Amino acid sequence: MEKIYILDAINYLFRSYYAIGPMTNPKGESTSALYGFIRSVNKLIKEFNPKHLVCVFDGPNNKEKRLEIYEEYKANREAGPEDFYHQIEWAKEFCKLSNIPTLTIEGYEADDTMASVAVWAKENNTTSYLCTSDKDLFQLVDENTFVLNVHKDNLLFDKIKVKEKFGVNPKQILDLLALMGDASDNIPGVEGIGPKTAATLLDKYQTLDNILECTDEIGGKKGQTLKEQTDRALLSRKLATLHTDVSFPKNDSFFELKTPDNQALKEFYQEMRFLTLIKELDTEDKKEVQDSQEPVDYKLINSEQELLTLISYLEKFSQISIDTETTFNHPLLAKLVGVGFCAEVGKAFYVPFNGSINPEFIKKSLSPLLESEKIGFIGQNIKFDLHVLRQHGLKVKNLSFDTMIASYLINPQNRRHNLDQLCLEHFEKKKIPISSLVGEKKKKISMEDVNLEKISEYCSEDVDYTLRLKNFFEKQLEEKKLDKVFYDIELPLVPVLQKMERKGIYLDTEKLREMSKALIQELKILEEAIHKEAGMTFNIKSPKQLSEVLYTHLGLTPSRKKGATGSTAASVLEELAEQAPIVDKILEYRGLEKLRSTYTETLIDQVNPNTQRIHCTFNQSVAATGRLSCQDPNLQNIPIRTDRGRKIREGFKPQKPGWVFMSFDYSQIELRLLAHFSNDPNLVNAFKHGNDIHSHTASLVFDVPIEQVTKTMRYQAKTVNFGILYGQSSFGLSKQLGISKKEAKSFIEKYFDQYQNVDAFFKSCIEQAQTKGFVSTIMGRTRPIPEINNRNIMIKNAAERLAINTPLQGSNADIIKTAMIEIEKEIQKKNYKGYSILQIHDELLFEVPEDEVEAFKKFVKEKMENVIELKVPLVVDIAVGKNWGEC
């Protein structure tokens, strides 16, 4: 055995638990420590290709030997998070399935076992790599033993590196720990001696024993303390001494890294929902995961006769899967390369637009098929394909299914619904990667230049598996009673969104350029003022430089936990503002810079050169609540609460003279939904009588007549009304209102005293999530919340907030989506020239000719307010303006 890698499993697991954000499996059990552990182990194996490796875990009763010496050993350690310990067992299971040797020796900590293996390896002239960041193990470093930190770019510690890090040689690490102690293990050390002082003493006297013999020479308080605490120093050394006599299998074959059981690993990853790890697996026979499936019949259509024969075959079916291949990921700028079709599982066809057939002949031949009343088309993110086909003169008449949307409805908590992911998850099918066709980075080629046979196989596989997914999801939608939401809301919304995206919104680029120039000038003035107050020049955008200026140069101290030291996060800077005027200027600078970089300059680059309009993309499969999201750019996020933000909105205006923008905004819809769901008499009556709900709440909570409610009272009540929807805590409310936590808690208690049914409704939402595992919206959309029973209190609390908010926000999404569908029907029916251009959650924005304003006011308001019957009225506010800012 030439080398052995000895991995500190608990060290890796703890590091991963805190380094990776909360992750859960489908059962709601925490998995972040496990995921990070697997990632780290796989990284080690991939980069070092070890033949001998062992993962070492703490054994049962591992502290007993040191507790016999010092009963306070590790006494200061709080119990680990409740959702951590089960992940240790999963890590052992992973090692078993991966055929990675493990050691868990009763009565010993992992450090002792690792040290024993390293000493044995040295005796056998084997090089050891201790894979850890635990400083105790650095005492073992010598010519045969190294510490390897894979989390720090594979930093390898030899004797020189140890000296650079600790200021002492590896043989002195034990004495260093004896002097300075170790807070994490509650090793006391000598009072008043830190790492620098300890290193200085050891540099001069070499050993702890020499130091203790020379206390008179050292003199002063330091010498006196060392003399008085000699026993304590020796005890600390004994506690930090690693046991190297642990019994373990001392043969090379035990430590051999063998071939993993990939099939079992796949099942394990599936259970944990580690889909990216499944992708990375390589089966023993080096074949694709799906090789066991029945053979497929994929055909390239590259002659006119073949195309006509294909169309004749496809015309017999009522549903056909379709997919386009393009040169670009933005559908309105992409060139159509080819189209794939599949009507029977395992049998698919690809028609290239860059092959032997004239593209005009293809379009002419395909048009009747695509526009047939009798055929419904199936796609994966079919809106993209509809755009591309439309750009090239082809229209699809009937949509039958969208597998991406179906997957999202069934599993809205999942982040990814792309085809590769879905095939892997539901069929264990590893699809042909796009990179195998077009390459990567600098070597990337256009889809137009890919070999026809290769692209044919790729696209045929796409349409084939889209059809398979459709058959799979169709049953699931019915079983989960989501078919109505799918067929009545989500699928009919696709062409509505497609039309909105195609219309886009006009941007006055000159106005934004002027704004950008003004912002640059303001930023320059602010920068000079900040540098003057700091007494030095520095890069304000650099968190590192800014931190040094605030905390080192100016000596500011954050009042938050010590973990915030050095932080330049906005929440921390806001607390520093009272200490120095410079902080307010820095916050203002950041705000202006975000407006400049995110909006005034970036938006100009997003303008389509052909239409002079911005064409964003609306996503139906991102927000778990059912809300639409927007990207490239995100126009739902254009600022509105500041003067400068409103100025940016003024840059969006009608492109044609004689046209206006019209905004239709649901008034307090989520509070109205809260009244409907809770059936709280106070809340219901307030909305039924048209009362100002915030003044009404203030009147009840402050126990004053409504006419005596002040602006401050109303503002506080408004904050609570909306905060309640998101499960805001007393701490959050106190911070937002600038009042004490006690006052905030009292405010919330009074709120629930007045709206008792609201509290009962919230509890019922949490109870439903706990018993059924999901919550529902008014139209039957569901959101699984498995984390509701998680043992981690932070994850559990977050899940409870989701359980409360989802029925409200999700129902809001259902309602406005349904309204959008009905409005579009009316526009088509009456042949109006005006059209919808944006949806911003509660609001719809239209571009309308002036002579249609009154008609739109009437029918849009009517559709939105009557789309569903609630216990309280839905109210829509209307605004008309020459630009978005005026709306």
Angle between helices 509-534 and 643-650 (to 10 degrees): 160
User: Looking at the predicted structure, is the pLDDT value of residue 564 above 60?
Assistant: no
Q: Which domains does the chain have, with CATH numbers?
A: 3-255 (3.40.50.1010), 297-480 (3.30.420.10), 508-606 (1.20.1060.10), 673-807 (1.10.150.20)
Give the chain's radius of gyration (CA, Å). 33
List of residues 6+ apart from 537 with CB closer than 8 A: 531
CB atoms within 10 A of CB 202: 22
Return the SS3 of 876.
strand
For residues 230 and 145, give the distance between their C-alpha atoms in angstroms, rounded to a whole number.
31
pLDDT at 135 (0 to 100): 87
More confident residue, 404 or 791: 404
- What's the mean pLDDT when you consider all of the chain? 91
Residues in the chain: 887
What is the rounded CA–CA span in Å between residue 615 and residue 497? 11
Backbone angles phi, psi at 439, to 5 degrees: 80, -170
As to burial, measured by CB atoms within 10 angstroms (0-12 exposed, 13-18 middle, 19+ buried), residue 594 is exposed
Would you say 883 and 661 are in contact if contact means Cβ atoms under 8 Å apart?
Answer: yes
Q: State yes or no: pLDDT of 48 exceeds 80.
A: yes
The three-state secondary structure class of 378 is strand
Closest residue by Cα to residue 810 from 579, 549, 590, 624:
624
Rounded to an integer, the average pLDDT of 710-717 is 91
Angle at CA 19, nearest 5°, toward 13 and 21?
A: 105
> Residue 201, Cα to own-chain centre: how many angstroms?
49
Please write the tens of the pLDDT for every residue from 504-525. Answer: 999 999 999 999 999 999 999 9
pLDDT, residue 801, reads: 92
Query: Which pLDDT belongs to residue 559?
Result: 59
β-strand 774-776 against 782-784: which pairing, if any? antiparallel
- Choose the weakest-confidence range: 233-242, 392-401, 836-845: 233-242
**β-pairing, 102-104 with 53-57?**
parallel
What pLDDT is attached to residue 79? 63
Q: Is the pLDDT of residue 557 over 90?
A: no
Q: What is the per-residue pLDDT for 285? A: 40
Q: What average pLDDT does this structure show over 424-430? A: 87
Residue 770 predicted with pLDDT over 70: yes
Q: How confident is the model at residue 284 (pLDDT cuts 50, 70, 90)?
A: very low
- 86 — pLDDT class (breaks 50, 70, 90): very high
The CA-CA-CA angle for residues 525, 531, 532, to 5°, reads: 90
Range name among 108-112, 457-461, 853-857 with the lowest pLDDT average:
108-112
Q: Quickly tell me which residue has 């080096």 as its tokens.
A: 286
* Helix ranges restricted to H, 535-569: 543-547
- pTM for the predicted model, two decimal places: 0.82
Distance of CA 192 to the CA centre of its chain: 44
Structure tokens at 633: 């750019």
Tens digits of per-residue pLDDT, 523-543?
A: 999 999 999 999 999 999 998
Tell whether the model's pLDDT for residue 97 goes beyond 80. yes
Phi, psi of 734 (to 5 degrees): -60, -40
The DSSP H or E segment spanning 314 is helix 304-314
Q: Which two tokens stand for residue 438?
A: 């077009």
pLDDT of residue 142: 94
Distance CA 434, CA 445 (A): 11
pLDDT at 825 over 90: yes
Q: From CA 639, how far away is CA 59, in angstroms rounded? A: 56
* 3-state percent breakdown (helix, strand, coil) of the chain, nearest 5: 55, 15, 30
CA terminus-to-terminus distance, the chain:
75
Mapped onto helix, strand or coil, the DSSP state of residue 300 is: strand
